[in-house]
Amino acid sequence: MPKVIRSSRATPQHTRVGDASSILKRFYIFERQLMRALAGWYIQTPGVELKFFLGGEQWLSSQHADSLRARVLELRYPRRDVDKKWDQDLLVFMDELLKAANLSEFLAGVYDVALAALRDEIQEYLDRTDPLDDAPTVYRLRHIAYDTATRIEQMHLLEQPDATDTSEWRDYLSQRLASIGGLSGLHERDAAPIDPGRPGFQVQRSARRDPRFRTARFHLPHENKYDKAGAAAWKRIESLDKRVAMQVWSAISHFNEIWAGEAPASVLFDLSGEPWDFYLDLSRWIWDETRHSMMGYRAMQGWGWDVPSLIPYGDALYNALGPMPPAQRLALLYYFEEGLLRSGTKQVELKILEASGDDGSAHDMDYDWADEAIHVGYGFKWLRHLLGDDNAGQAELTRLTDEARAIFADYVKAHKDDEEAKLAPYFERLYDVVAQMTLDVPEDGLEIQWAPVVADQAVLEDL
């Protein structure tokens, strides 16, 4: 008869490598699909602060997804392929989260149901697992648990979008989650609730802006060559001093970079089946452009401005590229970003801001420049991936970019007479505010030669 001695210790259920990797894979799918859902609702959300929040949140989910994915690959690499054979029940649940009727429901579903479940189920995992054998997972999950608790708290600190009663939606999602055994799949499965049959989520191709602002198509005179009065009103601000104009320009321009976050968010949402790094890079791109917008907002608040009443918050750039296919949206964004770096615009802007003694704006521009250099790498890499790494791919990139610029030019032409396209009233109001704030500084002999990167070169004649 075979002989053994007793087990050195007892081990709980669901803690072997196979269990760990399948649970962590479900957590990975959850965070990855959450990143996509947050990107979709980021576009959907008009309120400035809530949009900023969602821009950061989608990136946080991408970081968690990346950490979980790396651990799954360690546990069963290469047998378990993390990017295939996803649990269908979990995917259906994540699709349901997207179908919130409004932002209040979306936040309640994501934070009070889904992320609250993740927080609890991570704790269950940590309580169950062997901290020695599974130490690398413990390290990762402790960090994700900390972030998850923090993000739930932060959501509740936000000024909520409206007073909608979300209890029915939360109950439905909780039951739905219980019917798939929770995020880990380990919980007892309850009966599925009745599907309310809500329509699938569609990403907005036309952005709505914060209702506290006046509706505006454009934000600075370089976008619209037809707005001669706007350009003239801007010249008046410039007449105060080119340094002052750059301080104001960079803040308005940064704040309006939100479209450059919305564009990759729409691509991230639309394209499935790309390599994981594609989503990771786009997610960072979205967060960076959101941060740039936050930089502009913070600078203007720092000057004590009533931003919604003074500043144009344009919708043209996102809305013009709404009908374009995903690669073309990226191509237009890449055109602007690559142009900025190639022409050294950022360095010149930084130099002027430093000469202004505006430490805050110079600090922002310094980091913006660092981010933009990364984005040019993303654009280069992923456009080659999407279009092909050969002459045909290069020709297609040029064609898509030229066509995108033409689409934008047509959009400008079609909207040039809109009341919302007129910038002069903004710059006139702003002139009065800025003129009162000017300070004398010693002559520094600064030579200013600067031009923005534009879709339509003809605009530069008037600037």
Instruction: Return residues touching Fe ion (CB under 5 A).
Output: 257, 289, 292, 337, 372, 375
DSSP conformation class of 456: S
Among 298, 348, 317, smallest CA distance to 220 is for: 317
Write down the least CB distance from residue 376 to Fe ion, Å.
8
Nearer to Fe ion, 169 or 336 (CB): 336
Minimum distance of Fe ion from residue 144's CB (angstroms): 28
- Two structure tokens written together for 92: 């259906």
Burial of 325 (0-12, 13-18, 19+ CB in 10 A): middle
Beta carbon of residue 258, minimum distance to Fe ion (angstroms, whole number): 10
Cβ 270 to Fe ion, closest distance in Å? 19
Nearer to Fe ion, 229 or 341 (CB): 341
Residue 47 or 261 with smaller CB distance to Fe ion: 261
Tell me the C-alpha to C-alpha distance, in Å, between residue 413 and each of 222, 247, 432.
Answer: 14, 29, 30
Is the Cβ of residue 128 or residue 292 nearer to Fe ion in the bound state? 292
Which tokens sit at 324?
């374009």
Question: Phi, psi (5° rounding) for residue 136?
Answer: -60, -30
Please identify, using beta-carbon distances, which residue of 64 and 375 lies nearer to Fe ion.
Answer: 375
Distance, CA of 132 to CA of 137 (rounded, Å): 10
Beta carbon of residue 349, minimum distance to Fe ion (angstroms, whole number): 12
**By C-beta, is 108 or 320 nearer to Fe ion?**
320
Least distance from C-beta 320 to Fe ion, angstroms? Answer: 18
- CB of 55 or CB of 182, closer to Fe ion: 55
Is residue 237 within 8 A of residue 430, CB to CB? The reply is yes
Shortest distance (Å) from residue 138 CB to Fe ion: 36
Q: How far apart are CA 226 and CA 220, in angstroms?
A: 12
449's torsion region: left (phi>0), alpha (psi -120 to 50) or beta? beta
Cα 376 to its chain centre, rounded Å, is 16
The per-residue b/e assignment along 84-99, b for 16 or more CB within 10 angstroms, e otherwise, is eebbebbeebbebbbb
